[in-house]
Amino acid sequence: MNIYNQNDKPAKTANNMNIRGTNPPRAARYPAGKNLPNTKAVQAERPAAPAAVRSQPRQDVQIQTASAPSNRSLREKKKGLTTLEKVLIILLVAVIISAAVITVLTASRSSDAAIDMKEIEGKLADLQKRYGEALEELSSLTSEKEELTKKVEMLGLDSNDREAYLSKQIEEKTAEIAALTESIESYKSIYAVDIRTQVELVNELTEIIEEEAPLHNLKEGIDPEVVKVGDLDEDGNEITEKDLYEYPQISVYYEDLATGFRYSYNADKVWFSASVIKAFYITSLLEDVSAAYKAAEEDRVNNDGELVFKNEKYDIEHQTWVLTDAAKKTGSGKLYNTPAGEEFTYLQLIEYSIRDSDNTAFYELRNTFGYDSFYADAARLGVKSINYGFNSLSAQDAGKFLRFVYEFMESDERFGELLKGYLTSTKFNILIPSAVYPTTTAHKYGWDADAYHDAGIVYADKPYVVVVMTDMDEGGDDVNAFIQKIVRKINQMHKNFYG
């Protein structure tokens, strides 16, 4: 850990990809005496948000997979268990033992990221129920096959008819058993996780967050020229870095998009989102654009084959905007240094907003397309933090937005693929992408006063979302390495989940 005077903080250079947004220092944004609900206020140019609603209680770490078994006893079996039945029984016992292991391992640890045992017990109970039902059905189908054989013998059919009759019935039952076996194997793969290791990884991740961040701001009233590390305090105790410097604020959110397994740390804290919000606004915008293009395509017949839009602004490939000096916004992006008078399509502005995090381009998009669809999507997704302002966001809500982004990119062939191309080729790749390289990451980075964030979708074999939001706005190698370490531990935890 490095300790330094406020005047000696690491320089913000292009080498570290520390490119700030447009926003003024915190003191300029928030007048003295103004109390905010654990969030960042919105600049005057930002629109008023809908009325705030009560935020949901946080659930820090949850295992939330496909539904799972209740303690249902296995019925008496006929003599001789099949290999599949033996595997299932062994797996069921392992699951029950694993639940006990989790209880023991987590009982002694109390932190901001404790595992929700009630949720785990509920999932295990559901899994046990499904195993019991599956085994009963498997046993029943096997018995039916045996009964079919006996019935055919009693019917006294000639050999050809008997073979055809039996083959048809057996084939149907075999198909049923195969489908059931495939379903059971899918449960097995979802829950094939070393629970002991998983809990250890969760604890290690929490310790990294709570213990290893570079200290940054001097505590109020501390004079580093008078009080130094190694000095003794009034009680004779040696002064450490933590006595002089504040520990950063950090929020982390992870969710497996396939199973719903989640880890969260301080994930309901509301932050100033900086440029992270650009990805979510533009996804909402492109959803509207896609709908407009599809409607125009369907109406070609009535327009002599021409692509006619009910609202021409959604024709983003052809509608243009001319850059003026008055429209330029400071901070990241290329347009601030582009000569006035140049013309751009709105599709180009979308690309610049994502790839270059261009503030001028993003401001023009908001000015032209407004906020109605964005707020409607947020409400549908259950995102509450933006009710404090357009740029207000919690890590947990960023996770909800990321699932929305992922689903759009996977389902929309035209604009979803376009957005994925932008988000996987941004210019600021020092945090999440660097930590999981060479795995592809679709992400949006943001940096401003009291805000140093990254939020993305990691395209592992089973994709997942990860969000890290901090107030370590000094950036630099130590901060970047710390955030990368968090992401690498999450990546290890994710891989362990699949064995």
Q: What are phi and psi of 152, to 5 degrees?
A: -65, -40
Dump the DSSP string for 162-205.
HHHHHHHHHHHHHHHHHHHHHHHHHHHHHT---HHHHHHHHHHH
Residue 92: enclosing H or E segment and its boundaries?
A: helix 83-107
CB 128 within 8 A of CB 67: no
Domain boundaries, the chain: 83-190, 252-497
Residue 20: enclosing H or E segment and its boundaries?
A: none
Give pLDDT tens digits for 138-175.
Answer: 677 767 767 776 776 676 655 566 556 666 766 776 77
Confidence of residue 386 (pLDDT cuts 50, 70, 90): very high
CA distance 16 to 10: 10
Looking at residue 52, what is its pLDDT? Answer: 38
CA distance 154 to 142: 19
CA distance 188 to 175: 20
Looking at residue 127, what is its pLDDT? Answer: 61
Q: Has residue 81 got a pLDDT over 60?
A: no
What contacts 195, CB < 8 A, 6 or more positions away?
98, 99, 101, 102
Q: Has residue 69 got a pLDDT over 50?
A: no
CA distance 192 to 94: 10
Least confident of 9-13, 236-240, 312-316: 9-13
Residues of the chain with pLDDT > 70: what percent?
64
Q: Has residue 496 got a pLDDT over 90?
A: no
DSSP 218: B
Least confident of 68-77, 114-123, 273-282: 68-77
**pLDDT, averaged across the chain:** 77
Dump the DSSP string for 57-84.
PP--BB---S----S-PPPPPPSS--HH
- Residues, the chain: 499
Confidence of residue 49 (pLDDT cuts 50, 70, 90): very low
Q: 346-355 and 277-298 are packed helices; what angle lies between their axes, rounded to 10 degrees?
A: 150
Looking at residue 307, what is its pLDDT? Answer: 84
CB 474 within 8 A of CB 190: no
- Highest-confidence segment of 46-60, 86-100, 321-335: 321-335
Looking at residue 463, what is its pLDDT? Answer: 97
State the sign of the Cα–Cα–Cα–Cα dihedral 372, 374, 377, 382: negative
**Per-residue buried b or exposed e for 246-260, using 16+ beta carbons within 10 Å of the residue's own CB:** eebebbbbbbbbbbe
Please count the helices (runs of H) and the strands (runs of E) in the chain: 14, 9
Q: Has residue 34 got a pLDDT over 50?
A: no
Confidence of residue 253 (pLDDT cuts 50, 70, 90): very high
* Greater pLDDT, 370 or 18: 370
One-letter identity of residue 123: K
CATH code that applies to domain 252-497: 3.40.710.10
Question: How would you classify the pairing of strands 343-345 and 320-322?
Answer: antiparallel
Q: Has residue 362 got a pLDDT over 90?
A: yes
Which tokens in the block code for residue 51? 């009325």
CB 387 within 8 A of CB 50: yes
Looking at residue 232, what is its pLDDT? Answer: 84
Residue ranges of alpha helices (H) inside 108-156 are 117-155
Count of CB atoms situated within 10 Å of the CB of 310: 9
Query: Mean per-residue pLDDT for 6-21?
Result: 37
Give pLDDT tens digits for 440-473.
Answer: 999 999 999 999 999 999 999 999 999 999 999 9
Dump the DSSP string for 404-469.
HHHHHHHH-TTHHHHHHHHHTS-S--TTHHHHHTTS-EEEEEEEETTEEEEEEEE-SSS-EEEEEE
Give pLDDT tens digits for 293-342.
Answer: 999 988 876 777 788 899 999 999 999 999 999 999 998 899 999 999 99
Looking at residue 157, what is its pLDDT? Answer: 57
Confidence of residue 180 (pLDDT cuts 50, 70, 90): low
Which tokens in the block code for residue 126? 């559901």
Q: Has residue 15 got a pLDDT over 90?
A: no
Residues of the chain with pLDDT > 90: what percent?
49
Q: What are phi and psi of 6, to 5 degrees?
A: -60, -30
CA distance 429 to 480: 11
Give pLDDT tens digits for 419-431.
Answer: 999 999 999 999 9
CB 248 within 8 A of CB 208: no
* Greater pLDDT, 22 or 141: 141
The residue assigned the tokens 């250890």 is 200
Confidence of residue 33 (pLDDT cuts 50, 70, 90): very low
